[in-house]
Amino acid sequence: MSDSQGWQPAKPVALVVDDLKVNRVVLSKMFQRLGFEVAEAENGRQALAFLSQNHSKVVAVFLDLSMPVLDGWSTARQLRSLEQQWDWRRLPVVACSADSCDHVINGVTVGNLCHQSGFDAYVGKPLSLHIIVQLLKKYIPGFSYTPPSTTDGAPPRPGSAAARFGVDRHSASKLQEHTRDVLCTASADLVKQSLAEDSRQELCRRASFEDMTSRPCRGGRNSSPTFLNGGIRSFDALVL
């Protein structure tokens, strides 16, 4: 799809790149709600491999900055180089990070690093559907999205996310249930990982070999499930 053609009725592809599965799942669900096909990658190397075969199908890339194998900055630079080398259409690439754009790395702000690397925009995590829609309207010609009507359900609580996004309480409740399932699944996975780390830590404590006992044992029970559960409670209060 060239830039002059604008928005196409057939499902376009959004590429979501993040090393954390829960982030990919949540963002993918938002894109699917907007009518996109979604491709996922765990790191920049996977993303570039996918784009090398499917560049013409992709209309936007949402790219995490901190990833193993190949980080977001390097991925964006390599993508811009490939676009020039192979005369590809320039894709809108959005940087996604928990860091503030004013955060300084080696004397340079994250925002400036993103600009230098070829990103079109920077957004902080967690992303909202509203922010995604605004970005797509800006960078994809002809894109539009009409929120579900509020006439089929009870009006949302004033000031809630449902009110700001223009959805009724029933639709917001469904979204709440889905998000709760996503977060609980991620929480369960992290609990399993935490238990596995506990077992490894116990083995480290019992080991008599100096090279093993000298290694720091990370993990344990100070992991993310508590944060995710807190996120669920916050989401309950925000949506409804």
pLDDT tens digits for 113-153? 999 999 999 999 989 999 999 999 999 988 988 876 644 55
> CA 124, CA 102: separation in Å to the nearest integer?
11
The conformational region for residue 126 under phi > 0 = left, psi -120 to 50 = alpha, else beta, is beta
pLDDT value at 201 more than 70: no
- Min mean pLDDT across 7-16, 100-109, 117-126, 193-202 is at 193-202
Mean pLDDT, range 13-19, rounded to an integer: 97
- In the chain, domain spans: 3-145, 169-239
Q: Count the Cβ atoms, other than its own, within 10 Å of residue 237.
A: 10
pLDDT > 90 fraction of the chain, expressed in percent and rounded: 45
pLDDT value at 188 more than 70: no
> Do 101 and 114 contact (CB within 8 A), yes or no?
yes
Mean pLDDT, range 169-175, rounded to an integer: 61
User: Tell me, what's the pLDDT at 225?
Assistant: 33
Q: Which CATH class is domain 3-145?
A: alpha beta
- The tokens describing 239, both together, are 């949506």
According to DSSP, the β-strands at 93-97 and 37-41 are unpaired
DSSP 105-140: ETTEEHHHHHHHHT-SEEEESSP-HHHHHHHHHHHS
- Min mean pLDDT across 82-91, 168-177, 220-229 is at 220-229
> CA 53, CA 76: separation in Å to the nearest integer?
17
For the ranges 135-144, 207-216, 229-238, the one whose mean pLDDT is highest:
135-144
Mean pLDDT, range 93-115, rounded to an integer: 85
